[in-house]
Amino acid sequence: MSGLDPASANPFDVTDEFGQLLHPVQDFYSHTNWVDYDPADVPLFESGIGPWVGPSPYGTIRRGALDLIVVEGLDPPAPITGFVIRQTPSGVNRLVDVLGEDEVVIGLGLISDATDASLSPPGARIPHGSQDDSDDATSISKDTSVRTNHRAAFDAAVRQTRHEWCRLLHLAAARHGQAGAGVAMALMVDPKGSPHPPGTLCHASGPGALAVEARVTGIRILDDSDFFGNGELNFSLVLYTKDFRRSARSEINSISVASGDNLSAGSLPESLNLGVDNYDDVVVTLQAWDDENLTADQDGIFDTSDEILRGVTLDFSNQPFTPGIHRLSSQHLEVSLEIVAVETSGFDAWIARQVPSHLDRSFGGDPESDGLPNGLEYALGAHPGLTDNHPWFALQGIRSPDGYALSFPYRAEAAIDVAWVIKQSNDMRSFTEIYRRADGIESFASNNVTASFDDPLDPSSITVIDRTLRGVTAFYQLEVEFLGKR
């Protein structure tokens, strides 16, 4: 974790040590009988996001529906009296019964290969075995494809490895704050890769209802960290959520600058957009490094000979989310970040996509002057900016023996923030509400008024039957009310 300290980051050391630690983690599934108890359903041995909790000798560990006794040491405590390797119908014998008094089976044993006789008691010793299948039935290794349960062990090792990356991010955040996790997100992820491995707590989430844009508006170099002239600086900008399930990134490489320089607009990292939920905590980090110019290594690829500059991190998980300009600095950089938030659902998001900002985007506005306000077009599925004179955009009424059948277009996506209202009059002077649909449900209907979708599988129009004024002249109007997102 010290290598992710933003004050002295060394992500290469972190990567090296992380890889070394992953080796025994991956070997666990091949060199123990954890997988063999049920190769079709192999849970992770350690699924937390805090520090690893190692099993105690002769302690109990949960494996799905099983409780396994960790067999380690030559002197098992009472009531354990011995062990026996179970003989299975398949002939591959890797399961261990734990015995109590009178050799009664009192549990199942989790063992590793018996490379050290001082750790494995008699009766529970199964050797590692060879790489081929010559001793597959009497040894535990699942290292190669010809060994029984190799694929299950391989898949479990992959899942545990992916999970460990997620754990690393959470541990970095716990130790150093999001500035530490930001170092890993920006400098340990291949630009073509993803920090969201599937099947983990960090797996990618779909876009949320709020679009957050992070835009670098200025970078001033306080110290280029290069003692031999201009620095060849590279910048990695990452916008992500605190739970590490959503992110966006951009990089700009090999910009020749010196201490005191301001980057030109064309040298700044590209802006980032990320769809998040309203409850997401958002983090923006900008990390940088200097290509070592004493070697032929000015390639924009971060490697061991390059020098890390201390980056900046804007963490909204410990402060209110505030769009606008934020100015951040470190010993190497001064950075101006602009944060913009735009709804991706509801009327505001819809009108922003439909109407240029210099025109009237209000709910009651009518930029194309076709008599249909923006809010009505939003609710009925029309298009601001296009003149819609089609009669089907109006309320259609048909008189029948049962009353009046009133049909109107319905845009289901608008149910998040509008209500459709039908009002009735017999004199055109006063109107009475007889039907209201809000929040996607019929929230009000007068007696003798019913409503239904014309096609339940494609709810693009609604017909309301009014039986209250049979045989008399009636007038109706359709209103759309803006309720705000709920």
Architecture of domain 178-343: Sandwich (2.60)
Bridge-based pairing of strands 307-315 and 282-291 is antiparallel
Ordered by start, the domain boundaries in the chain are 2-160, 178-343, 391-482
Q: What is the residue-averaged pLDDT of the chain?
A: 88
Q: Of the segments 101-105, 318-322, 338-342, 448-452, which one has the largest average pLDDT value?
A: 101-105
Quickly count: other Cβ atoms within 10 Å of residue 125's Cβ.
18
pLDDT, residue 53, reads: 87
**What's the confidence (pLDDT) of residue 395?**
63
What one-letter code names the amino acid at 419? A
Decide if 178-343 and 391-482 have a common fold: yes
CATH number of 391-482: 2.60.40.10
Among 11-15, 417-421, 436-440, 468-472, where is mean pLDDT lowest?
Answer: 468-472
The answer on pLDDT for 381 being more than 60 is: yes
Contact 328, 312 (CB under 8 A): yes
Give the C-alpha separation, 101 to 85, whole Å: 17
Question: Minimum mean pLDDT among 52-56, 261-265, 453-457: which range?
Answer: 453-457
pLDDT of residue 393: 43
- Residue 110 predicted with pLDDT over 70: yes
The answer to which of 13-17, 79-83, 348-352 has the lowest mean pLDDT is 348-352
Please report how many Cα atoms fall inside a 13 Å half-sphere around the Cα of residue 467, on the Cβ side: 8
Whether the Cβ atoms of residue 351 and residue 374 lie closer than 8 Å to each other: yes
Angular region, 381: left φ>0, alpha ψ -120 to 50, beta rest: left
Per-residue pLDDT at 296: 47
* pLDDT of 39 over the 90 cut: yes
Q: How far apart are CA 115 and CA 125, in angstroms?
A: 9
Q: Determine the average pLDDT of the residues in 411-426.
A: 90
Write down the pLDDT at residue 300. 55
Residue 394 confidence (pLDDT) above 60: no
> 463 with 454: CB under 8 angstroms?
yes
Specify the pTM.
Answer: 0.72
Q: What is the pLDDT of residue 62?
A: 95
Alpha-carbon span 351 to 240, nearest angstrom = 26
CA distances from 38 to 42, 95, 394 (A): 7, 10, 64
